[in-house]
Homo-oligomer: A and B are copies of this chain.
Amino acid sequence: MTTDKGRYHHGNLRPTLLSVARALLEEGGPEALSLREIGRRAGVSAPAAYHYFSSLDAIAAALAERGFAELSERIDAALAGPRRHLLAGGIAYVAFARANPGLYRLMFGEGFQAYAKGNEAIGASRMRVYRQMKDDLEKRLAPEAVANAALFLWSLTHGLALLMIDGQIEPGVDPDAKAEEVLKLAGLGLPAAK
């Protein structure tokens, strides 16, 4: 068995602790996260875990940052794909949230609100996701229309992701197809009155 110092040197324990924390979060929500339990599952003492993360907030912040980075990669991949437009990015966004419900909620501060609000690294990684959407809108819209359009799209996508995580859509529906149908309305406006 290596010492903590050896582990630190080899850089192995930090990602292990984070992946254990992430699994705990998805199993039991933010209240299931504790440095003691994270250490226990990783097979190290709580002080060894403290060596890498000074607090649970620091772990939550690292998870949130990682979450926004992954989300941003998924959106990039979708926008680079054959469909290449914002709808594909929105579908990828909602799929990420569905696949990582605990992480997605944490990314928006659930269980760690006070801390998440003041955290600049999280703010910066969140801003990167927002920019992906805004950049696309800037190509298409008049400058004065961009801010509201971006907030509109972000609200829609965030709300749909959370309602889907919460099980607020009919069971048996293909969630990707449903996300596409709903997000498409952003471009059309509501269907005309009959």
User: Which of B141, B145, B155 touches A163 (beta carbons < 8 Å)?
Assistant: B155
Q: Return chain B residues, CB-CB under 8 Å to A110.
A: 110
**A103-134 interface mask toward B, CB cutoff 8 Å, 1 = contact, 0 = none?**
00000111101000100000000000000000
Closest to A114 in B: B29
**A14-42 interface mask toward B, CB cutoff 8 Å, 1 = contact, 0 = none?**
00000000000000010100000000000
Find out whether the CB atom of B163 lies under 8 angstroms from the CB atom of A154.
Answer: yes
User: Which of B141, B155, B190 touches A141 (beta carbons < 8 Å)?
Assistant: B190
Q: Return chain B residues, CB-CB under 8 Å to A157.
A: 155, 159
Q: How large is the interface on A (under 10, 10 to 19, 20 to 34, 35 or more residues)?
A: 35 or more
Q: Return chain B residues, CB-CB under 8 Å to A29.
A: 113
Q: Return chain B residues, CB-CB under 8 Å to A167.
A: 117
Q: Return chain B residues, CB-CB under 8 Å to A9.
A: none
Q: Return chain B residues, CB-CB under 8 Å to A169.
A: 151
Chain copies in the assembled complex: 2
Stretch from A46-54, A59-67, A180-188 forming part of the interface with B: A180-188
Within 8 A of B (CB), among A41-85: none
User: Which of B149, B159, B166, B191 touches A160 (beta carbons < 8 Å)?
Assistant: B159
Say yes or no: A187-B187 contact (C-beta < 8 A), given A154-B163, A155-B182, A156-B156: no
User: Which of B140, B145, B149, B159 touches A155 (beta carbons < 8 Å)?
Assistant: B159
- In the complex, what distance in Å separates the CA atom of A29 from the CA atom of B182? 31
A81 CB → nearest B CB, Å: 21
User: Which of B108, B113, B155, B187 touches A189 (beta carbons < 8 Å)?
Assistant: B187
- In the complex, what distance in Å separates the CA atom of A110 from the CA atom of B106? 11
Which residues of chain A have a CB within 8 Å of any CB of chain B? Answer: 29, 31, 108-111, 113, 117, 137, 140-142, 145, 148-149, 151-160, 162-163, 166-169, 178, 181-182, 185-191, 193-194
